[in-house]
Structure 1
Amino acid sequence: MTETINEFTTAFYQMHIDAGAKMVPFAGYDMPVSYPLGVKKEHLHTREKVGLFDVSHMGQVKLIGENAKKALESLVPVDIIDLPLMKQRYALFTNDKGGVLDDLMVTNIGNDSLLLVVNAGCKQADFAHLQNTIGNECEVKVLEDYALLALQGPQAGEVLAALAPESREMTFMTAKVLMIDGIDCFATRSGYSGEDGFEISVHNDQAQQLAKCLLAHEAVEWIGLGARDSLRLEAGLSLYGHELDTEHSPVESSLVWALSKVRRSDGSRAGGYPGAMTVMNHIDAGVAQKIVGLQPEGRAPVRDGVEIVDDDDNVVGKVTSGGFGPTTGKPIVIARIESAASDGTKKLFAIVREKKLAVEVVKLPFVKTNYYRG
């Protein structure tokens, strides 16, 4: 990571420039939003072949020490203590009100250590949160000198196996140390596209060599942040600051599946994290709002922040993420709406340019996910 006058850049900055990327400021970094292929074709290429994403702006941090698991579990409503070796789990930092500070991925990498990957826009606050709350129970080691690449798409397994045959054994949400073209890498079989794929952590000094090695395969193309967002939207995946924020609990964001049973009110390690009483009450008693998928009529785009109303013009919610689905060929929407309006029995409308556009509640995701489970 190097610093320019206004923005940080990743280890791949020059490669992006050489590839003709359109660079934009994002979370303090100069990042590629698209390449000459264009967002739509980049999106479809990832669905059909393999996309390579620079996600080095995200935060990588190790928690080291015999108390690391127990310490992290005091900050998240998730089972960390029993997380098996080389397995990964989705987690959420909560605040005292039960709201979400950030969502993250946690991997048990062995030797009393955990590897966390957190969102770019929240990472400095996350690092401080970890240091201030559990820094006296374990070492909080930020990996400043490491890059992160995401290799995503139906042919990702084939591409990586040709370079690192041992990656074939990996299934969704597992991890492995790999040797790729003589480079030590740490990979998880995960991602943010709804497709099979890997996230690969590599030291900055060898990052470009790794990227060139992956791009040498004819199926692999650089993909920018624009397509990364449309891919995750089709896959129905939450984005911090949109579906997740400090004002709503994970339950109000339809993430009950992510809250480990052992940490719920009837679990053996119930509570014990910030806002636990609120979160457990929301699980047990239900919530007034939830996150749903909406399918608008026609082809008019429905953007973030648009109000959702019922037949009587009562506001029942708001769009959290809206855009066009290149795979579906239609506008697609994720919204936070009143639970009572989410069962599909009420007529709902999005207010677009002061006009009512009919929307239908649909089950997420908008496209079938293709995670490799063996």
Structure 2
Amino acid sequence: MLASDNSPLKQTPLHALHLARGARMVPFAGYDMPVQYTAGVLKEHLHTRSHAGLFDVSHMGQLALRPRSGKVADAALALEKLVPQDILGIAPGRQRYAQFTNQDGGLLDDLMVANFGDHLFVVVNAACKDEDEAHLRAHLSDACEIVSLADRALIALQGPKAESALAKLCADAVAMKFMDAGPRRVDGVDCFVSRSGYTGEDGFEISVPSDKAEALATALLDNPDVLPIGLGARDSLRLEAGLCLYGHDIDTTTTPVEGALEWSVQKVRRNGGARAGGFQGADKILAQLTQGASRRRAGLRPDGRAPVREGAVLFADATAAEPIGKVTSGGFGPSLNAPVAMGYLPTSLAAIGTTVFAEVRGQRLPLKVVAMPFVANTYKR
């Protein structure tokens, strides 16, 4: 099977495990990835919400930023030139959500940054990882040694039973809180573990040496509470959680404020803060943080049971000629037994309770602007 550029698809270290467990494989970000297993997307989704799901996210990029000075604060300050977040303020053993910005304030990617005490550990999206690494090398090489951790797999364990499942292999898991991150021993293997994920559920992401990944995944799947979960349910889970998918809900044309991500920009990096600005696109983003943006990502609940998919054009009323926005993610929410969507609207029409219309197969269907997440998160704080 080939990727879109006609190169052979890459395989993660868990590829053989996916095939052995009956996965249906599809191309995704240049990799041959499982979209679902024999249980099917609906059951996988609901099992993750009620028990625990195991996801292969080894296609994502993992990097270490090692400060040349030996001081992790220097790596943090260097990275703050590329992101609008407070990286210096990440305590050892903690991590934070961030975004790479461009000169126009748009988003090159979103990422997770952890402070491991003597260096920063970064996880970036699969489709952007080569560009992200080049971006870091172009701007941070004087301050940091940038190390690609391509010899590591990444496993996500998500759901209300995730803690009990991981605790059988890592006693330290119980003491971890949401966004704790750092080295941990898991089933006798030196791993990096964070209490985080992409589903809205409590859970963990486990970075493990590639040659140990299949054994660790198998040990976790030996627990009857844990099922393997494919990309299909991963997408419906993150949509219910109101989480952005890079390249769909956010991209190089959207700013953090337009993407409703201003919560991720800490006070110290905003106007009047001690380290305000200094990142790419700062003028535009700081102005929007103060004055607002003309458009905004919003949660949408369609009437009825018909999903409104990505790309559907949005209108202010049932007869308007001019579109006002479009849906960027949409589908059926199994936990809600109802369709959900996200899209961009003029800020004046993005208030909760507003009704807009999507054009679906030649008809205008009403949608109501609602608060996100659609399903309450269960993070252990």
Give the Cα–Cα distance (whole angstroms) in 2 for the partners of residues 8 and 262 of structure 1.
41
Matches within 5 A, 1:199-214: 199-214=205-220
Counterpart residue number, 2:282: 276
RMSD: 1.3
Counterpart residue number, 2:49: 47
Cα deviation digits, residues 287-318 of structure 1 (max 9, x gap):
11001111101111211010111125142211
In the TM superposition, what is the alpha-carbon distance from 1:248 to its structure 2 partner?
1.4
Matches within 5 A, 1:304-319: 304-311=310-317, 312-313=319-320, 314-319=322-327
- 2:116 corresponds, among 109, 128, 136, to 109
In the TM superposition, what is the alpha-carbon distance from 1:347 to its structure 2 partner?
3.3
Counterpart residue number, 1:93: 100
Give the Cα–Cα distance (whole angstroms) in 2 for the partners of residues 204 and 346 of structure 1.
49
Matched, 1:77 2:79: no
Give the Cα–Cα distance (whole angstroms) in 1 for the partners of residues 217 and 354 of structure 2.
49
Give the Cα–Cα distance (whole angstroms) in 2 for the partners of residues 150 and 18 of structure 1.
19
Give the Cα–Cα distance (whole angstroms) in 2 for the partners of residues 162 and 346 of structure 1.
48
Structure 2 unmatched ranges of 5 or more: none
Matched, 1:33 2:35: yes
In the TM superposition, what is the alpha-carbon distance from 1:344 to its structure 2 partner?
4.3
Give the Cα–Cα distance (whole angstroms) in 2 for the partners of residues 172 and 42 of structure 1.
23
Matched, 1:222 2:228: yes
Percent identical pairs in the alignment equals 51
Give the Cα–Cα distance (whole angstroms) in 1 for the partners of residues 39 and 20 of structure 2.
14
In the TM superposition, what is the alpha-carbon distance from 1:369 to its structure 2 partner?
0.5
Matched, 1:196 2:196: no
Matched, 1:367 2:375: yes
Question: Alignment partner of 1:327: what SS?
Answer: coil
Give the Cα–Cα distance (whole angstroms) in 2 for the partners of residues 359 and 351 of structure 1.
11
Give the Cα–Cα distance (whole angstroms) in 2 for the partners of residues 146 and 115 of structure 1.
13
Distance 1:297 1:137, change over 3 A: same
Question: Alignment partner of 1:205: what SS?
Answer: helix
Structure 1 unmatched ranges of 5 or more: none
Amino acid at match of 1:153: G
Cα deviation digits, residues 339-359 of structure 1 (max 9, x gap):
111124643111111111011
Give the Cα–Cα distance (whole angstroms) in 1 for the partners of residues 46 and 77 of structure 2.
42
Q: Is the 8 A contact 2:352 2:371 kept in 1?
A: no
Question: Alignment partner of 1:238: what SS?
Answer: coil
Counterpart residue number, 2:189: 183
Q: Structure 2-normalised TM-score?
A: 0.95
Q: 4+ residue stretches of structure 1 with deviation over 2 A?
A: 344-347
Q: Is the 8 A contact 1:299 1:331 kept in 2?
A: yes
Cα deviation digits, residues 56-76 of structure 1 (max 9, x gap):
000000000132111111100
Give the Cα–Cα distance (whole angstroms) in 2 for the partners of residues 58 and 249 of structure 1.
22
In the TM superposition, what is the alpha-carbon distance from 1:9 to its structure 2 partner?
0.3
Give the Cα–Cα distance (whole angstroms) in 2 for the partners of residues 7 and 347 of structure 1.
43
Give the Cα–Cα distance (whole angstroms) in 1 for the partners of residues 352 and 243 of structure 2.
21
Give the Cα–Cα distance (whole angstroms) in 2 for the partners of residues 344 and 43 of structure 1.
27
Counterpart residue number, 1:288: 294
Counterpart residue number, 1:336: 344
Give the Cα–Cα distance (whole angstroms) in 2 for the partners of residues 88 and 187 of structure 1.
11
Counterpart residue number, 2:126: 120
Counterpart residue number, 2:58: 56
Q: Structure 1-normalised TM-score?
A: 0.97
Give the Cα–Cα distance (whole angstroms) in 2 for the partners of residues 43 and 230 of structure 1.
7
Give the Cα–Cα distance (whole angstroms) in 1 for the partners of residues 276 and 7 of structure 2.
48
Cα deviation digits, residues 228-261 of structure 1 (max 9, x gap):
0000000000110111111111001100100111
What is the aligned length?
Answer: 370
- 1:142 corresponds, among 148, 161, 181, to 148
Amino acid at match of 1:249: T
Give the Cα–Cα distance (whole angstroms) in 2 for the partners of residues 163 and 347 of structure 1.
49
Question: Alignment partner of 1:8: what SS?
Answer: coil
Amino acid at match of 2:106: G
Counterpart residue number, 1:166: 172
Counterpart residue number, 2:20: 18
